[in-house]
Copies of this chain bind each other. A is one copy, B any other.
Amino acid sequence: MLQMLCLRFLLLLFFLGSLGALLAPRRRRGIAPLPAPYLTRYLTQQIDHFGFDENLTFQQRYLIADQHWKKDNGPILFYTGNEGDITWFCNNTGFMWDVAEELSAMLVFAEHRYYGESLPFGNESFSDSKHLNYLTSEQALADFAVLTEYLKETIAGARHSPVIAIGGSYGGMLAAWFRMKYPHVVVGALAASAPIWQFGDLVPCGAYFTIVTNDFKKSGTGCSESIRNSWNAINHLSSTDAGLQWLSRTFHLCSPLKNLQDAAMLKSWLSETWIDLAMVDYPYKADFLQPLPAWPIQEVCKFLKDPSLSDKLLLQNVFQAINIYYNYTGEASCFDMSETATKNLGQLGWYYQVCTEMVMPMCTDGVHDMFEPQKWDFEALSDECFKLWGVRPRPSWILSMFGGKNISSHSNIIFSNGGLDPWSAGGVTQNITDSLVAIVIPDGAHHLDLRSRNPCDPKSVQQARALEVHYMKQWIAKAKHQH
C-alpha cells in the first residue's frame, strides 16, 4: 500500500486512471444509459506482434455499430481504446454517436489489450512481469492495425472504407500515433486531449499543475490560495494525535489517520481530487462519473473564499468543498481514500505502463501552483517500479519511437485541447502544418469535444466539433477520390 501510495504521488493518472474505480459500481446500478445499440465482437490477436517465440493468441473485444453506415465504402470511425473497459468509452464518447449519421459512418470501439475483457492471459495477465510483457502502446497499435484490416477485409462493402482514428487522453495519443505509424490503415486521426508531449523535457514538468491552479484561481476569489494554505494546516494538525483525530472526523474518513504517512495520504487524496476536478470542469451538470454540478470548480470555490482563516476553519471549508465532489447526492456516510486508486485492473495496467513507456515528468513548486513543492524524481519512480514489477522505465523510448516534437512530416491529425484541461500542458496547441492542426477549446476541460452534444455546451466546443467534422469530411472525400 505504501509503495502504491508513493507511486501514486509520483505519477499522475489519466482520466479513467483516477476515476474509473468510482465509476464501476455506479454503472452496475444501471444509471448511465446506453447511447445506442452496438454489437460486441472479438478478434483473435497475437499476444506478441513483435516476436515469434510467444505464439499464443488472445481475444480482443471490440464494439461495432453500423446503423448509419453507408455500405458502399462509407467511412469507419475507429475509437482507439485506452486504459479501461471499452464499453465505458463507447458510452462516454457521444461525439461519435452524434456525428455517425452526418458522416454515414460505422462506429468501432476497440478495446486496449490488458483492459476490460481483452486480457491476454486471462486472470494471470497481471500476475508478473512475464505476463505483463506485452502491455505496450506498440502492441496496442498493432492490435488496432490488424483489427482495422480485418474489418475492411471481412465486412461486405468496407474494403475501401476510409478509417478515421478517434481517441481521447491516452486514447488520443494512440489515435495520433496510429496515424503516424500506420498511415496506410487510417486516413486521419482526431486526437482529443492527447498529451503526446508530456515526455522527456518537451514541456516544463510543472505546467500541468499551473493549469490546475489557474482553473481554481479563475473560479473564485481566494480559492487557489485556500488550497495552497491547506497543506500547512494539515501539517500542523497531523503533528499531534488529537490533530489526527480531528482531521479524521472532519474529513469523515472511514479509516482514521494514525500517523504522518496517513496524513500524507490525505494530502495526496486531496491533491488528486483537485486535479480530477480540473479535468471534469464541465459546463453542465454531469452524471457520468461522479454526479457533479455544472462548472464544479466554481461550486467548490464557493467554500474556499478566505485563505486567511485558521487551520481548522480552513480545513472545514476544504471538506465542504470536496464533499461536492464525493458526495453531491448526499449518500456517502464516510470517505475511503483508497477508493480513488489502485482498485481495478485498468489502474494496475496503467501503473505498469507508467513504469515502462509512459514516463511523464511532473513536478510542483508551490509558487506557480497551489500544491506542496515536489520535484520530479525519476529515480524514485524507477525504484518503485522495480519493486512492484521488476521492470525499470525507459523514459527516452517514447521519444525515439514517436518523434517528440519533430512530427511535421506526418499528416491528417487534429489535436484538440481544452484550455481548462491540465493535460493540455503536454498537448499540441498550435498548428504544426496545414494538416497537423490544433484546436483549442478555451472553455473545455478534458476532451469535452468527445462528449455528447449538450444544450449548455459553450460555443467554443460547438465550433471545435464542427471543425473536426469538417476535417474528417475532407479526409473522407480525398480517400474516395483515390478509388
Q: In the complex the two chains form, is B55's CB within 8 Å of A391's CB?
A: yes
Q: In the complex the two chains form, is B356's CB within 8 Å of A133's CB?
A: no
Given the known inter-chain contacts A183-B409, A407-B184, please indicate yes or no for A52 contacting B129, CB distance below 8 A.
Answer: yes
Q: In the complex the two chains form, is B403's CB within 8 Å of A183's CB?
A: yes
Mask of A372-407 contacts with B, CB within 8 angstroms, 1/0: 000000000000000000111010010011011011
With a cutoff of 8 Å between Cβ atoms, the chain B residues found around residue A355 in the complex are 52
Name the distance in Å between A286's Cβ and chain B's nearest Cβ: 37
Q: Does A134 contact B (CB under 8 A)?
A: yes
Q: In the complex the two chains form, is A182's CB within 8 Å of B52's CB?
A: no
Q: In the complex the two chains form, is A129's CB within 8 Å of B53's CB?
A: yes
Q: In the complex the two chains form, is B145's CB within 8 Å of A53's CB?
A: no
Mask of A407-439 contacts with B, CB within 8 angstroms, 1/0: 101111000000000000000000000000000
Q: Does A51 contact B (CB under 8 A)?
A: yes
Q: Does A142 contact B (CB under 8 A)?
A: yes
Q: Does A139 contact B (CB under 8 A)?
A: yes
Q: In the complex the two chains form, is B50's CB within 8 Å of A50's CB?
A: yes
Q: In the complex the two chains form, is B136's CB within 8 Å of A182's CB?
A: no
Count, chain A residues at interface, CB 8 A: 44
With a cutoff of 8 Å between Cβ atoms, the chain B residues found around residue A129 in the complex are 52-53
Name the distance in Å between A164's Cβ and chain B's nearest Cβ: 14
Given the known inter-chain contacts A181-B181, A400-B146, A409-B183, please indicate yes or no for A139 contacting B50, CB distance below 8 A.
Answer: yes
Complex formed: what's the CA distance from A132 to B48 in Å?
14
The residue that A51 contacts in the complex, of B133, B142, B404, B410, with Cβ under 8 A, is B133
Q: In the complex the two chains form, is A51's CB within 8 Å of B394's CB?
A: no
Q: In the complex the two chains form, is B407's CB within 8 Å of A409's CB?
A: no
Given the known inter-chain contacts A51-B133, A133-B53, please indicate yes or no for A46 contacting B394, CB distance below 8 A.
Answer: yes
Name the distance in Å between A237's Cβ and chain B's nearest Cβ: 42
Q: Does A149 contact B (CB under 8 A)?
A: yes
With a cutoff of 8 Å between Cβ atoms, the chain B residues found around residue A55 in the complex are 391-392
Name the distance in Å between A437's Cβ and chain B's nearest Cβ: 16
15 contacts between A and B (CB under 8 A): A46-B394, A50-B51, A50-B138, A50-B139, A51-B136, A52-B129, A52-B392, A53-B129, A53-B132, A53-B133, A145-B401, A146-B400, A183-B409, A183-B410, A409-B411
Contacts beyond the supplied A52-B394, A146-B400: 10 A-B pairs with Cβ under 8 Å: A50-B138, A51-B51, A51-B134, A53-B129, A53-B130, A53-B133, A55-B391, A181-B181, A185-B400, A185-B403
Q: 9 tightest CB-CB pairs across the interface, nearest first?
A: A184-B403, A184-B406, A53-B133, A183-B409, A52-B391, A50-B50, A52-B356, A51-B133, A53-B129
Residues of A near any B CB (own CB < 8 A): 46, 48-55, 129-130, 132-134, 136, 138-139, 142, 145-146, 149, 181-185, 355-357, 390-392, 394, 397, 400-401, 403-404, 406-407, 409-412
